[in-house]
Amino acid sequence: MSVSVNYTQSPEGIIAGPVNEENFFEWEALIMGPEGTCFEGGVFPARLTFPTDYPLGPPKMKFTCEIFHPNIYPDGRVCISILHAPGDDPMGYETSAERWSPVQSVEKILLSVVSMLAEPNDESAANVDAAKTWRDDRKKFEDIAERTVKKSLGL
């Protein structure tokens, strides 16, 4: 498995790399909440798990902290097109170009997740409560996000 992001080459606001040198299939990441968003200032830990057929199959990503977001399941799993298996979407929602392909990099995945934090897709919700709150009561959503930011910092 080739790795394209390490602790010294991560994009700004992201630290990522293998959990240890014996297992390159498990990575940890710290993602800073994007500036100008309700997640700004937060530091959100996540885990990437790569399949044995990587790069043919996409990794799975899961936040290991509480985060209330339309595209993150309540258990922390990230739902974003770039992490969906390659090929046509059986539901017809995504094009094959939006889904995983072996040319994607870990850096591109992490940057896509930062973009997702900044711009939730409430049309394709992994967390229905978060999507409904995002759509119907933005102030409440931002208050909940602010609490998760403080929690991520141990405050």
Supply the residues annotated as catalytic: 79
Q: How far is CA 35 from CA 12, 118, 119, 123, 147, in A?
A: 11, 8, 12, 23, 16
The dihedral built from the CA positions of residue 44, 141, 73 and 79, taken in this order, carries a sign that is: negative
Asked if 63 and 39 touch (Cβ cutoff 8 Å), the reply is no
Structure-token pair, residue 69: 């977001």
**Any idea of the CA torsion for 87, 92, 93, 98, to the nearest 10 degrees?**
20
User: What are the Cα distances from residue 137, in Å, to 4, 27, 72, 85, 121?
Assistant: 39, 35, 18, 33, 15
What are the backbone dihedrals phi and psi of residue 117, each rounded to the nearest 5 degrees, phi first? -60, -40
Which residue is associated with the tokens 């609490």?
147
